[in-house]
Amino acid sequence: MTTASPPPAVPGISPLPAARVRKRSWSGWLFIGPFMAVFAIVFIAPIAYSIWLSFFRNQLVGGNSFVGLANYAQALQDSQFWSSLFRVTLFLAVQVPVMLLIALLAALALDSGRLYGKSFFRISIFLPYAVPAVVASLMWGFMYGTRFGLVGNINDALGINLPNPLSPDLILASIGNIVTWEFIGYNMLIFYSALSVIPKSIYEAAEIDGASQLRLVTAIKVPAIRGALVVATIFSVIGSFQLFNEPSILQSLAPNSISTYFTPNLYAYSLSFSGQQYNYSATVAIIMGVITMVIAYAVQLRGMRKES
Amino acid sequence: MKNTISLAVLRGSAIALTAALALTACGGGAGDNAGAANEEVSAEDVQAALEEGGDITIWSWEPTLDEVVESFEAEHPNVNVNLVNAGTGNDHYVALQNAVAAGSGVPDVVQLEYFSLPQFALAESVRDLSAYGAGDLQDTYNPGPWNSVQANGGIYGLPMDSGPMALYYNKEIFDKYGVEVPATWDEYVEAARALHEADPSVYIANDTGDAGLATSLIWQAGGQPYKVDGTDVTVNFTDEGSTKFAETWQQLLDEDLLAPITSWGDEWYQGLGNGTIATLATGAWMPATFSSGVAATAGKWRVAPLPQWQEGEPTSAENGGSALSITSASEKGALAYAFLEYANVGDGVQIRVDNGAFPATAATLESEDFLSDEFEYFGGQKANEVFAESAKSVPEGWSYLPFQAYANGIYNDTAGQAYVSDTTLKDGLEGWQEASIKYGSEQGFTVSK
């Protein structure tokens, strides 16, 4: 929303005639023109093209034809699509709270000022975020190996038999572990920076009132950073629905545990690059985009309502 | 005023555009007419194209083509060959599909593995080489690879190499535990039990569900799960050959006799090197990978004929192998065909064999030099004798799906479940059949069981 405000009257120069003012309103477009052009090309066009694609079906036999909403009807009845959506929802429900809680604890610990070697902890918790997701997945994939990996070594050394982290039952938890490891530092940094702008005078006032450290956390710190918590939650919701890198990399290590429709993104990817079903893939992508938007918006609404 | 100017500009550009279009049309007309589909191209045309010269682009990941290109260019100084590695396997096909769909940047010559050739032939992305007289080459090639380049009644490529299967085994392990090298698949299961019992860290093979291996072994067992007639496709994994494979493999799965290691990964190379994986049933192109990827075990491995489903007449199958094809979009059809002939029929064959490739041409396979080659890696064994014998005993009548690349991609979603759950391989294969039928129908094929 941009509102055009009249130009401030400059002393010594008479106000412009009405006709020329109207002309100037076009020059505004001239300024935002370059932005609008880039915005249209890189943001609007791909989405519009995907929507356009989703109304067609291109077959190996029979070629390209307009099918209207048939792709959407198919997607809504597609058990593979729903199973992938269920999987990321489960992931979201378990992994995100765990990750955010740990990140919050780490941020509170750093902020408490009682930690020895604060900057060392800060940098080492943040470090995994600097490791590219692909590298992290490969690294964890090697560690998860029961034959030559870390899990295998522990089994050999202690003579025990740990369950295989790459088996179909545990793979989602194993991926959750990787993602948690990757993003705790990032979320911690968001929380920590929100905590550090709380005025110190509030703490002093609380201390004078005799508030304990725990009370300080529950009554001042957490409520004060609710905005940051909401933002981090929204990012995590979006991140969960877009889960792709980790399962895609681990697929080569555990092909029978991670199906081609393990997550919605992975499903869209295999539809288009292995099955050449570009149209259906675009449909799945659009439906996922809408679902993600709805849920992220719901989280935001709920977060804001509490705040007021 | 402003409007007038823009109109004039518009009119100007319209004229320019029309002119450009006309020019393009002329360019197309003046181009290589040999490119037109189904038009006869004689040997003279090909020879003329060679003399005239020009540039051709090849997309292939076959390493032995480098030297072939060099010597081809040396022989024909007017020709400039641009050899591009656009990726291996699926990456290559994705790039090719994208180029074909976009209609620009399509190479003149492409490498196509036999299983993916029908897909591109059906889409008419590559040319029927009958027009170039490729039909005369039938006796030049072994039947296996020659069958593999036939699709829709045309010849859609010239075979570059082939992959008659053999059983590679770690002789040291077999000797150590006094186990006989299996000659049948039943003996193979026995050997698997004996080896694993002798040393629980030893497995007869690795497998986590490999569509290529499964289809090849079904092929060897006489199964014909795929029947293709134009766009009429049959998928049926309940025939005798498929059942034989599923039942035998099920024993290996039930008793955990297969190492859960995926081929081509780090663990796989380690396993081949440290004795964890005792055998490997795969194509004749494997020696190059052995000597480069598992150099440490040089001298320990040997090659034996593929175990049999029935005693008696030896039967084998193909695994892998690829052809070179000419794209429909190429404007240098005649020149491209000249290269195909050079690389896959002419002098190029020997150059590639010298560099470790396994040829598809019958004469090379029968030549004394080739057969008597002693492989240092296999302790001086004349391994080519085993491969050549295998190449002769591949059952005819096998065909892959016109969407095999996709079908292979979903093997682990369905049949692969037998490796990690209570699902049987038989049920898994039926699941694969259903999924393949579903995809085929969505793509407009008439698919039945």
Q: List C-alpha distances in Å: A3 to A6, A25, A28, A32.
A: 10, 11, 11, 14
Residue B39 DSSP SS3: coil
pLDDT at B312 over 50: yes
A169 contacts on B by Cβ (under 8 Å)? none
- Global confidence as pTM: 0.81
Model pLDDT, residue B33: 38
What CATH topology corresponds to B165-317+397-448?
D-Maltodextrin-Binding Protein; domain 2 (3.40.190)
Phi, psi of B228 (to 5 degrees): -125, 125
Minimal CA–CA distance to B237: which of B248, B229, B226, B221? B226
Chain B contact present for A73, CB below 8 A: no
* Full DSSP string of B185-227: HHHHHHHHHHHHHH-TT-BSEE-S--HHHHHHHHHHTT---EE
**pLDDT category of residue B69 using cuts at 50, 70 and 90:** very high
Q: How far is CA B198 from CA A42, B275, B278, in A?
A: 63, 13, 13
Tell me how many residue pairs between chain A and chain B have CB atoms under 8 A apart.
68
* In chain B, ranges of CATH 3.40.190.10 domains: 2-162+321-359, 165-317+397-448
pLDDT tens column, A26-75: 788 888 899 999 999 999 999 999 999 999 998 888 888 899 899 999 99
Which chain B residues are within 8 Å of A167, Cβ to Cβ?
420
**Cα dist. B413→A255, A284, B408, B410, B428 in Å?**
8, 19, 10, 5, 9
Question: What is the value of ipTM here, to two decimals?
Answer: 0.79
Q: What is the DSSP letter of A40?
A: I
Closest residue by Cα to residue B267 from B320, B206, B204, B192: B206
3-state secondary structure of B377: coil
pLDDT band at B35 (very low <50, low <70, confident <90, very high): very low
Q: Which of B115, B206, B410 to mutate to test the interface with A (most CBs of A within 10 A)?
A: B410
- CA-CA distance, B259 to B2, in Å (whole number)? 77
Nearest residue to A126 (alpha-carbon basis) of A186, A190, A194: A186
How close does chain B come to A120, measured CA to CA in Å? Answer: 35
Mean pLDDT of chain B: 86
Query: In this predicted model, what pLDDT tens digit does every residue of A72-121 receive, in sequence order?
Result: 999 999 999 999 999 999 999 999 999 999 999 999 999 888 888 888 99
Contact A259 B94 (CB under 8 A): no
Mean pLDDT of B53-61: 92
Q: Which pLDDT score is estimated for B22?
A: 36
What tokens appear for B85 in the block?
């590695």
User: Distance from A64 to chain B by nearest Cα, in Å?
Assistant: 11
pLDDT at A141 over 80: yes
Q: Which long-range contacts (CB under 8 A, 24 or more apart) does A156-159 make?
A: none
Kindly tell me the burial class for residue B337, based on how many C-beta atoms sit within 10 Å of its own C-beta (0-12, 13-18, 19 or more).
buried
Residue B275's contacts (CB-CB under 8 Å, 6 or more residues apart) are B170, B172, B173, B202
Q: How many C-beta atoms surround the C-beta of residue A208 within 10 A? A: 8
Q: Is the pLDDT assigned to residue A11 strictly greater than 90? A: no
**Residues contacting residue B231 through CB under 8 Å, at least 6 positions apart:** A61, B122, B402, B444, B445, B446
Which CATH class, in words, describes the domain spanning B2-162+321-359?
Answer: alpha beta
Q: What is the pLDDT of residues B219-258, one digit of tens each?
A: 999 999 999 888 899 999 999 999 999 999 999 999 999 9
pLDDT in tens, B136-163: 999 899 888 898 898 888 999 999 988 9
pLDDT tens digits, one per residue of B70-110: 999 999 999 999 999 887 777 788 889 888 888 889 999 99
Length of chain A: 308
DSSP 8-state class, residue B184: B
In this structure, the strands spanning B165-170 and B301-305 are antiparallel
The residues, any chain, with a CB within 8 Å of residue B171's CB and separated by 6 or more, are B300, B301, B302, B379
Chain A residues near residue B267 by CB distance under 8 angstroms: 145, 147-148
Could you tell me the pLDDT band of residue B1, with boundaries at 50, 70 and 90? very low
For the cut 60, the answer to whether the pLDDT of residue B10 exceeds it is no
